[in-house]
Amino acid sequence: MTTIAPPPTQLIISFCQSAYLWLKEDIENVVVVHCKAGMARTGLMISSLLLYLKFFPTAEESIDYYNQKRCFDAKGLVLPSQIRYVKYFERILTYFNGENQPGRRCMLRGFRLHRCPYWIRPSITISDHNGVLFSSKKHPRTKDMPPEDYWFSAPKKGVMVFTLPGEPGLTEVAGDFKVHFHDRQGDFYFWLNTTFTENRKILNTSDIDGFDKRKLPSPGFQVEVVLVDYDGSFSTGSNAETDVKKSEEGSSIAPASADAAAAAPNQIKDPGSNDKDDVFSDGEADESESSKQKQAEASSAGAAQSAATPAPSPGTDSKSGEVASLSQATEQLSLGNMGSQQSHAATSQPKSEETGGTVSSIETTNSHSEFKAMAADASVFTFGDDDEDYESD
């Protein structure tokens, strides 16, 4: 353990097994544990050993005992991530008979900052024990953008969201990983393990390392980490290719057909989500475009219903014809708008891929607008939260 980071779970297990064998050899044998200050990392390992030797049944009791014996102020093991890993070890002992488990393979989709004041817009670095996995300062799509531009507001007030539109996620993680945020007020960070973490993990300020040292208070602040199970099967094709395919699919629809009218709502929704993931959407339209889509869906459903009903009386023939023609016109208009949006997305790819030149300022503007376009649909970010919206300053 060379830093204040919690060790890999396998290292905790190996240490406890080795210490137990040594203590069992002779009643006079002792174990000496130390680190730079002899408190935090030392406390993590000793608390884990006390659990392993069954001195205490829970991680909380073991940590409390160590803190009382080690420090006058009972503040020996206090870092949230280190305490979290003692609790991970308790679960390994309880549910896995002390055997280390392989890391669950996940894709880190993004983050959501709840009750986030305007002065928290951090850069992001994700790493594991082997090195950096993702950095917003080095990623091609965010390295030239200030954090204020790639953190965008969700419709739920006080919620800021970060993800990469059109991509499976930020990086693949398995087992231990660290999320490090940095802004003008300082750093805050935390370590998690995918095997013991649910796909939507919310951390309070008391669960985050270093947050208590920040100068400005942020009451109620929370970080939500969004993971999805990952098997390597996410599509890696470019957005342009996806848009072209969907454009071709949209152009092959026969609007006058009752079957096509019934399928139209699903086809309209498809371009809005490249990977069909319900966690973050990759292409929400603005409110005006959303209302047009709703109108198209309603009129298409009406056309399908009229096609399924028996032949109307002569007095209603003219009205049915008007409804059908209106439905067809509205659907064509909606599909036309979709086609223009898709062609715009297809042409927004950097021209350097074709000519070897540099990316123009117009393309940079398109990249910025791509991030901002994601905050249109409240259902994408709120997950049906019933609590009152937080009014950010």
Question: What residues are annotated to the active site?
Answer: 35
Instruction: In whole angstroms, give the CA distance from residue 128 to residue 175.
Output: 9
Tell me the sheet residues that pair with 201. 225
Instruction: In whole angstroms, give the CA distance from residue 12 to residue 84.
Output: 13
Instruction: In whole angstroms, give the CA distance from residue 313 to residue 232.
Output: 57
Tell me which amino acid residue 328 is: Q
**Residue 297 near residue 265, CB atoms below 8 Å:** yes
Helix (H) or strand (E) holding 114: strand 105-114
Instruction: In whole angstroms, give the CA distance from residue 200 to residue 84.
Output: 17
Q: Helix axis angle, 40-52 relative to 9-25, nearest 10°?
A: 60
**Residue 294 near residue 265, CB atoms below 8 Å:** no
Helix (H) or strand (E) holding 224: strand 222-229
Q: How far apart are the first and last CA of the chain?
A: 41
* Pairing state between β 176-183 and 131-135: unpaired
59-64 own/partner pairs: CB under 8 Å, 24+ apart = 59/83, 59/86, 59/87, 59/89, 59/90, 62/86
